[in-house]
């Protein structure tokens, strides 16, 4: 029996950005920003860039893993939970080892989160860790919950679709 084909819509970075903005998890969240390292000429497009609640530049690169792909189905891990987690860790490790990403993270002195998700909605360990930090921020601010905030954000229909786009344009630190 052939596995089901995987179809993933590219909505996760905009949705994540809108949730971070709604949660007041600091500022300047932008989508698909091309960054360059002038020292080695490397360039890379991050899915999201922004500044977190501790005033650090954060780069997020999202990836979606298909659970019905042949590589996941052939995994030596017996149970589906273990297969899902293993597939998500592989996706995160692939992003963490990418030399282009490593160069840009170093040049911008940034935090990097490979935001891995499965097609059934499971999150990778680093995505879960990042959202835990956001959840703690929401709780400390006395907001309902991140889920409520995201649901409210999705229900809003802004008159100006570019209203949340920032002019933040980071530069590598000068040494």
According to the 3-state scheme, what is the secondary structure of 2-41?
Answer: CCCCCCCCCCHHHHHHHHHHHCCCCEEEEEEEEEEECCCC
Compute the average pLDDT of residues 55-72.
Answer: 83
Q: What is the mean pLDDT of residues 93-122?
A: 93
In the chain, where the domains are located: 27-155
Q: How confident is the model at residue 3 (pLDDT cuts 50, 70, 90)?
A: very low
- For residue 24, is it left (φ>0), alpha (ψ between -120 and 50) or beta? left
Over residues 118-127, the pLDDT tens digits come to: 888 889 999 9
With cut-offs at 50, 70 and 90, classify the pLDDT of residue 71.
Answer: low
């Amino acid at each position: 029996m052939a596995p089901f084909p995987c179809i993933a819509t590219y909505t996760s970075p905009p949705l994540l950005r809108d949730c971070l903005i709604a949660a007041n998890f600091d500022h300047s969240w932008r989508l698909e920003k091309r960054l360059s390292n002038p020292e080695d000429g490397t360039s890379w497009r991050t899915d999201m860039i922004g500044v977190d609640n501790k005033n650090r530049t954060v780069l997020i690169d999202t990836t979606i893993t298909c659970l019905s792909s042949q590589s996941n189905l052939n995994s030596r891990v017996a149970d589906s939970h273990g297969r899902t987690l293993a597939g998500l860790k592989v996706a995160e490790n692939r992003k963490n080892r990418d030399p282009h990403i490593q160069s840009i993270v170093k040049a911008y002195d940034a935090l990097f989160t490979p935001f891995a998700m499965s097609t059934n909605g499971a999150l990778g360990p680093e995505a879960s860790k990042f959202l835990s930090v956001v959840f703690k921020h929401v709780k400390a601010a006395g907001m309902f919950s991140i889920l409520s905030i995201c649901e409210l954000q999705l229900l809003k229909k802004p008159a100006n679709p570019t209203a949340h786009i920032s002019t933040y344009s980071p530069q590598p630190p000068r040494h």
